[in-house]
Structure formats: structure tokens, C-alpha cells
Amino acid sequence: MAEWQEITGGVTAPKGYKAAGITAGLKPSGLPDLALIVSDVEAIAAGVFTTSQVKAACVDYCRQRLQAKPFARAILCNAGQANAATGSQGVRDAEESAELLAKELNISPESILLASTGVIGQRIKMDALRGGIPKLVAALSPTGSDTAAGAIITTDLVTKSIALETTIADRPVRIGGIAKGSGMIHPNMATMLAFVTCDAAVSPHLWQEMLSRAADRSFNSITVDGDTSTNDSLIALANGESRTPAITEMGAEAEKLEAMLTAVCQHLAKAIARDGEGATCLMEVQVTGAHDELAARQIAKTIAGSSLVKSAIFGRDPNWGRIAAAAGRAGVPFEQENLNIKLGDFLLFENGQPLPFDRAAASAYLKQAAANSVLPQDFVATNNSNDLSVDRKNIPGQRVDNPVIIAVNVGNGHGAGKAWGCDLSYDYVKINAEYTT
């Protein structure tokens, strides 16, 4: 039984946070495109960012801010323009964004972190942002998480939000999160943004370590299409407003908090994978028997990222050969005769040998996984360079609890790991072929 419970409220569920999302005119569609999360007090801040050598201005900005001072009061996110590969003017735009918000909030620009999402090579529409920031600050609310979650999405079908609560030192402690992501999703990290709030008191170095480990077990373990982006940012604030004793080193309370942080990140990561562009179902790859967790996750990520595996899942084809091939090329040594593969409850391959199985029933299992989805399958993407908000309906209530399960055992080691992905459909090509045209 989990040591926490799910609650409502997203990033405003923890004490001492407000959020807002508005339409500032950054997206020609007229849909929400500017989001803000603010802590009532200065919070410990940590971040994990893209490993791409081509980075958005906001990524470099945040890295520099966090290296200089691991504290923040606010996170500002614009959707519509990535502000990546925009040169020195893009850097100035990012800096001006922080300065404008700082003036409106009456705080230091150094206390503001930034995120952007949209088309690479496009600068933020600064005139729209200048006019939008006062409205955004005026809209801040202790129940504003949903509006913020809606303002950060681009090609997403659904908003992504979660909040959990546990007890530390006999006081409630909460962690909330919102995220966006649908395409250009691959470990290290992906075209995703995730913002996490917490009301525990944690030392800066420990909070960063916790977040990095949580990212490896969540956002760095999902894949949609094998592409890593320029803007990936996971930012987490911890403001201490729960009034619990400060957690400064690993121990029972730190482990409890990290487990809840990981659970929040994994929920958001799975929601991103399930919302993969054109996807019809979520895949969860479970690997056991490896030398260590890192090796197990490497095999799992390779299987989840295989275009052949993903295509087979979309075709409802229980093709275990593609799973075996992907496991074998993951770069992790194991003996072939120790390999076992299951699809749901169907054992397909055991001790390096194929087994007879009911192919029709296994295919029906894959069909049922897609049928369990609440995401609409009849959308028509209308992406173009002038409108990042496609008519893929923004429908709340996304389910991530019924994935296709691929279970792989590679030996007798203690290493176990998971990765999440989605199937690869015809619509993925359509959406991305029309993305800027």
C-alpha cells in the first residue's frame, strides 16, 4: 500500500502556491498560452534540462540562475514559440521576460525561472507577452493549477496534472505537478515541460539529487519517437510551508519524500507517453534480472523506443521477435538462453525458446488496451507554423493505469527497471508532416 494518497489541486495543492494561465496572444488560435506558478515565499529550486547541444534561451537562463542561487519564487512559461536557435535576441527576450514579471510581482528577476515551448527558431512574441504579464499576475489563484496546465500545452490532447499527499513529522506534506508533451519525446530528456511544487523543507543539494533520480526513473524513461528536443525542462520548487522539520540528509523521511516525488514524476511521464502524437495506447516495458537498475532501464528504453515494436503494437501484432531483437541490441550483456518475454498474461518466449500461444487472444489483449483509452481517436491535426493548438480536443481524465505490459527477464540479477512509450501510428507521420506547413 502506498504511503500517500492522491488529492486534487495540481501545483497549487501544496501550501503557499498560486498559479494562473491566460491567453496572451502568443498562439494565433486564441487558446491559452502563458502560465505562471508563484510561491508565497522563496523556495528551494532544482532543475533537470535537455542534454541537447542546441538549447533554448530559457534552458541556459535557468541553468545559470540555479547554479548561482538554488532558490526561486516563480516559474513563467510561454507556449507558441520555443525561443530556441534564436541567437542573442532570443537571450535578450528571455531576460526581458523575467524583468517584466519581476517588476509586476515586485521581486528580483533572479527569483524567476523560465520555460518556453513551440516551434524551434521562433522568438517569443514580446508585444503579446508584455501585454499579457499584468493580466497573468492578476489572474493568480490558489486554485489556478488547471488553468496553468492548459496554458503550457501545444499538440497535447490532454492536460497532465497530479497531486499527492503524505505525512512527515505528523504533518501533511504535498507534492503537485503539471506537464506538457506529446511529440519529440525521448530520454535525455524530451520535448516536455514539467513543473513540480512541494511544501516540504529540503536542503538544496538533497532536493536536486532527489529530482535527478526521479527524472531518471520517469521522464528519462519515456519515449514517443526517438527525438530529443531543445527546450526540455523539469523544474521543482520546495518552499517549506508545511512547517515540517528540514530534511537535510537521506533517511526514512527523505526516502518517503523522494518516493512521492518519483510517483508524481512517473504519473506525468506516463501521461506524456500515452499522449504521444497519433498514439492509441500506452506501453509499459518491465525488465528484470539485469545486473543493476541502470542496465534494466537501458533494455526497457530500447524496447519501448523500437519503431518495429511500436508498429507491431499499433497493428495489434504480438510479435515477440521484435521485442527480443530490441532487447538484444540494447548494449547490455545477457545470455540468450535466459531471455523470457511476456505480453500481458501471455508467455511468448521462455529460456531462449519460442512457446506456442493463442495469437488471436494476445492480439485481442492489445486491442483492449487501446479500447480502454479515453483519448479521442478521430482527431484531425491542423498544425501549422501559425497555429500550434491543433483541434485534438483537450479532454481531461486521461488514463495511464491500463498500459500494454511487456515483461522481459534477462537473467538472475537484482536489477529491475521500467520504461514507457506508445505505439506508432499513421497519424504520427501526418501530424509531423504538417507541423509547420
* Angle at alpha carbon of residue 403, lines to 401 and 408, rounded to 5°: 125
pLDDT of 386 reads 34
Percent of the chain topping pLDDT 90: 74
Q: Is the model's pLDDT at 91 over the cut of 60?
A: yes
Cell of 57: 534561451
Q: Is the model's pLDDT at 226 over the cut of 70?
A: no
**Count: domains in the chain:** 2
Q: Are residues 249 and 320 in the same domain?
A: no
* Angle at alpha carbon of residue 296, lines to 156 and 293, rounded to 5°: 100
Strand partners, 84: 56
Mean pLDDT of 14-29: 96
Q: Are residues 326 and 382 in the same domain?
A: yes
Q: Are residues 270 and 287 in the same domain?
A: no
The domain that holds 390 is classified in CATH as 3.10.20.340
Pick from 22, 274, 14, 4: which is nearest to 146 by CA?
A: 22
Domain boundary among 250, 274, 298: 274
Q: Are residues 310 and 389 in the same domain?
A: yes
Q: Are residues 100 and 204 in the same domain?
A: yes
The domain that holds 252 is classified in CATH as 3.60.70.12
pLDDT of 225 reads 58
Q: Are residues 197 and 293 in the same domain?
A: no
Q: Are residues 291 and 268 in the same domain?
A: no
* Rounded-to-10 torsion of CA 307, 310, 311, 317: 140
CA–CA separation, 101 vs 97, rounded Å? Answer: 6
Percentages helix, strand, coil for the chain (3-state, rounded to 5) are 35, 25, 40
Domain boundary among 274, 304, 332: 274
Residues identified as active-site:
191
Q: How confident is the model at residue 429 (pLDDT cuts 50, 70, 90)?
A: confident
Mean pLDDT of 44-70: 92
Q: Are residues 129 and 193 in the same domain?
A: yes
Pick from 53, 119, 131: which is nearest to 86 by CA?
A: 119
pLDDT of 154 reads 83
pLDDT of 123 reads 96
pLDDT of 120 reads 87
pLDDT of 393 reads 37
Q: Are residues 116 and 161 in the same domain?
A: yes
Tens digit of each residue's pLDDT (9 = 90 or more) over 297-346: 999 999 999 999 999 999 999 999 999 999 999 999 999 999 999 999 99
pLDDT of 28 reads 83
Q: Are residues 245 and 327 in the same domain?
A: no
pTM of structure: 0.86
Longest dimension (CA), the chain: 69
Domain of residue 185: give its range. Answer: 5-274
Pick from 366, 178, 399, 164: which is nearest to 275 by CA?
A: 399
Q: Are residues 163 and 93 in the same domain?
A: yes
Q: Are residues 266 and 328 in the same domain?
A: no
Q: Is the model's pLDDT at 400 over the cut of 90?
A: no
Tens digit of each residue's pLDDT (9 = 90 or more) over 233-284: 999 999 999 999 999 999 999 999 999 999 999 999 988 888 777 788 899 9
pLDDT of 1 reads 45
Mean pLDDT of 423-432: 80
Domain boundary among 226, 249, 274: 274
Q: What is the mean pLDDT of the chain?
A: 88
Lowest mean pLDDT among 185-189, 386-390, 409-413: 386-390
